[in-house]
Amino acid sequence: MLAYRHAFHAGNHADVLKHIVLVALLRHLNLKDKGWRFVDTHAGAGDYRLDGAQAAKRGEYRHGIGRLWQRSDAPPAAADYLRLVRQLNPDGALRRCPGSPWLAQALRRPQDELRLFELHPTDHAALQRAMAGARGVQVTRADGFAALRSQLPPPTRRGLVLLDPSYEGHRDYPQVVAAVRDALRRFADGTYMVWYPLVLKPGAAAMVQRLKTAAPQGWLHATLTVQPLDAQGFGLAGSGVFVLSPPYTLHATLQALLPWLTAALAQFDGAAWALEQHAV
């Protein structure tokens, strides 16, 4: 939705979970020399100022990346993510937070490709500036759901697709399922990562169940809850990540990560995590 601006939420607890998993998936792809294609259907602005008016208005990053910034006891997956965030803040002060395009660009090798889609005109322009001159990177102002089919299969038959719409409207949940199913028909060997919010809105549970039935090569599902669900339907209690065709190492990585991350980001006594998988 064009009203949504991720800058207000950049660096929050949901970003932390999403980006740690994303970095782990990209690291796994880099274990082989053969190039890969990363497709981001809702790419945003690339990276975000945390000392700007939008992020400061809500201050959500203070309960996300802000809580991890000075930690020295992070498990490997979180420590890897924090190293990348520190690359964006070389003076040691937390002023910027990477989005998924920035992280993918930081981990991309010369043989790899980025295909980044963003519909919001302001964020698209910012993303273009952030990626200006980068070879192997295409930034397009388009609906990522519709554009995805043109990107699959990648020439190397290796790829990762990230689908993380705003979910401000109910249509995003069935659109994610439809996009994944269509993508799998074109590129069954790819890895697909779906992020979604834990809020009191219909659609998420049904989406997850449909994704489970759509995964031909297994799936992994992780959730992190850090604050109570608001009875009025406002606020972000936590988030979930669903990965189709996950690497075999991801379950152990998240099993080591999630208890630590829950304790670090908890905003109430009932904070919790969950992890399930179906391997083929």
Residue numbers annotated as active site: 164
Cβ-based burial of 135 (10 A; exposed 0-12, middle 13-18, buried ≥19): exposed
Looking at residue 86, its amino acid is R
Identify whether 153 is preceded by a cis peptide bond (ω within 30 of 0): yes
Query: Alpha-carbon distance 230 to 240, whole Å?
Result: 17
Tokens linked to 166? 């705003």
